[in-house]
Amino acid sequence: MLDFVDGTTEWSDACKVALEERLSNNQFVAVIKDCTQDDLSPSIDLFDTSTADDVNMNKYFVQKGFVKSLGASSDPNIVKLTTAVDANSSSANSACFPEYLPAALPYERRFIATGVHIDADANIYLHIMDDYKEKDDQLRNIMMEINSNTESYDTHPKTTAELRIGQACIGKFSQDDYWYRVKILEILSLKDVKVEFVDFGNSEETSVGALFMAPKYLNVPSQCISVQLEGITPKLNESGYSEECIEYLNKQIVSENVMVDLQQNVTQTPPYKATIHNKDEVDIADLLLTLDLAIRQTDRPRPADANLFDEKEFILDLTPSLTPEAVHHSEYLWYSEQQLPPIGVRFDVQVTQVNDPHLVFIQRNPPMDGEELFASDANDETADNAYAEIDRLYEITDVLNSEEFLNDDSLRLPDPIVGMACVGRYSEDCLHYRARIERVNEENKTADVVFVDYGNSETVPIESLTAIKPDLVLLPMQSSQVRIAGVVTKDDADIWTLEQRKQFFEIVANKRMIAQIVGYTETHPFIHLYDRCLVEDCETGETIDTLIGQILKEKNIADFKLDEQQLAIVS
């Protein structure tokens, strides 16, 4: 594995066992990054691709504390690894000053956590609860060790000239006079610094007299992770989140158990983007939007008098206030949502993306040659427009993959902006599709995009993105994220297992299905999803439309519970 050095320090048995358990007899994707100078054997990044996200195993072992990073290399995407040394050694880091390891993330993107701190920028610090007892005991032992042997520590630094940004130290918290693991955030003067308490996330200004330069447990990762709420941003007239917003987050999260869904790959740097649901299973970002404490990240003032459609024709209405250059580079372009049928009306769909068995993306499925609709569109006032939009989508996809479009150098995307409409290349089929930028990682030169007509997401190099012409943005997004009514995890478990997700996907993938809207939440419609099944023991080919929730219950994949309103709409 990349820059694994075994000549200076003997590998511990525990480390060997951990590596063998994770690597032996498992399938991975290897990316050759370099060759060793002595025997020209390849150095690789190793990726676990068995889950929804590709997990960089090199970085995973660093985060778990089995090995440690040698720091930045000439390639910012390369992690250099060596063995972790004694926990209490002040020389445990090979850099010119010691640093604590970053927090170790759970292997699953969804997990339960307890909030420990919210800072002024709405960064949320969490203790992961999946192995809570083990971590709680570890943190308690660290605290006892640090506070029981302060007399054995080296002297305090005389001035801040002896310190470096990011350096690991032991620091006293002013509110309880206990000693904690801290790192230097800022050097304020010859005698004063700002430190972060790495196991809790809070920070404060302190003097060098409240620091020891003898850090403990350097090979134990920080015990809290930092995240930011996905999809929201401070209101446009505010420089940051208001005190009222931070106070509300504290009430919802600190000292409470919450469900966290990480929205980006663990190889990226914190704070990680995440969706967080409170103890009442309500999306906290949605609560902030409802209380007018934040706005959606993609919300931006629209050009005045911009009409998306005129008598169903794709006619662009550019406003005089926008220059051709500004429009051309997509900065002011956004996608609108597609119109769905009224509550109770059945319509044909296909499932294009599965997040969880209860949360999916659907796309309208018009009649094809030789294939009839499952649900009559006689009462669907949106049908004609929906079918025309799907036809238009096929035309746009052809345009985006035409030689003329791909060779148009004027469509470079020099400055990607979150929320911007663009064109992205999907790695599975190497074709280009309409996309929207969800986040930008300037350090790695990558962007997270969602392919708006299908709902799937991918991290792509920024240089692979292309600006989109205004007339190609006017078509509404052709996928809608919906919740399947009544489908819940077995025995009210906190998360769906990987096997349950796979089983659900096998049931719904690549087939015509029937959807029926039964209600709306603040973020997604609730639907009934029907699968057309053959009647058992019927020799005439008779079919019946069966609720997916019922199928999942019969196959012991999920529980299925409809309320009275949802039951009343079942066809």
Range of lowest pLDDT (186-190, 514-518, 531-535): 531-535
Question: Do 498 and 51 meet the contact criterion of CB atoms below 8 Å apart?
Answer: yes
Confidence at 325, pLDDT banded by 50, 70, 90 = very low
Which H or E element spans position 390? helix 383-400
Cα–Cα dist 260/281, whole Å: 11
Largest distance between two CA atoms of the chain: 90
Quote the CA–CA distance of 329 and 326 in Å, as a whole number. 6
Question: What average pLDDT does this structure show over 348-373?
Answer: 88
Taking Cα atoms as reference points, which of 161, 181, 186 lies closest to residue 171?
181
Q: Where are the alpha helices (DSSP H) in 235-321?
A: 243-253, 284-290
DSSP secondary structure, 73-104, as one string: -SSTT---EEE---TT-TT-SSSSS--PPPPP
| Interatomic CA distance for residues 368 and 222, integer angstroms | 56
For the segment 441-497, what is each residue's pLDDT rounded down to a tens digit? 888 889 999 999 999 999 999 988 998 888 888 899 999 999 999 999 988 777 888
Distance CA(144)–CA(150), nearest Å, equals 11
- Locate all alpha helices (DSSP H) within 276-382, ordered by sequence: 284-290, 324-328
- Cα–Cα distance for residue pair 329/313, rounded to 1 Å: 23
| Between residues 254 and 541, the one the model is more confident about | 254
What is the CATH T-level fold of the domain 96-297, as seen in this structure?
SH3 type barrels. (2.30.30)
In eight-state DSSP terms, residue 449 is E
Task: Tell me the sheet residues that pair with 547.
Answer: 530
Give how far the C-alpha of residue 204 lies from the chain's centroid of Cα atoms, to the nearest Å.
Answer: 29
| Better-predicted residue by pLDDT, 557 or 317 | 557
144 vs 138: CA distance, rounded Å? 10
pLDDT given for residue 130 in this prediction? 59
Task: Evaluate if pTM is beyond 0.85.
Answer: no
pLDDT bin (cut points 50, 70, 90) of residue 424 is very high
Residue 367: pLDDT above 60?
A: yes
CA distances for 180 relative to 76, 95, 107, 197, 198, angstroms: 31, 22, 27, 7, 8
Considering the chain, what is the average pLDDT of its residues? 79
pLDDT at site 554: 92
Domain with CATH 2.30.30.140 in the chain: 96-297
